[in-house]
Amino acid sequence: MTIIWILLIGAVAGWLAGQFMKGRGFGLLGNIVVGIVGAFIGGYALGMAGISLGGGLIGTLITAFLGAVVLLFLVGLIKKM
């Protein structure tokens, strides 16, 4: 059941980040990948800053969203080079 939650949170976070950064999503698989990688980035960055949003569904989703936004920002910078 945990893997299903990871995939769902990844898909939602990736979709939200895609809407926020580019105004569109990346398809189901792309959203899941962006959201899951974003969750790792967000967890690491917020942890280094000493910020905890809690371990619940909303805190996890916000952390994944913030990390996904950072990921998409960095990818955009690399693409412009």
pLDDT at 26: 82
Buried b (16+ CB within 10 A) or exposed e, 10-27: bbbbbbbbbeebeeebbe
pLDDT band at 38 (very low <50, low <70, confident <90, very high): very high
Q: Domain segments of the chain: what residues?
A: 2-80
For the whole model, what pTM was predicted? 0.90
Closest CA to 69 of 13, 9, 10: 13
Tokens in use for 55? 């371990």
User: If you average pLDDT over residues 19-39, what whole number do you get?
Assistant: 87
Q: Which residues contact 36 (CB under 8 A, 6 or more apart)?
A: 6, 7, 10, 14, 64
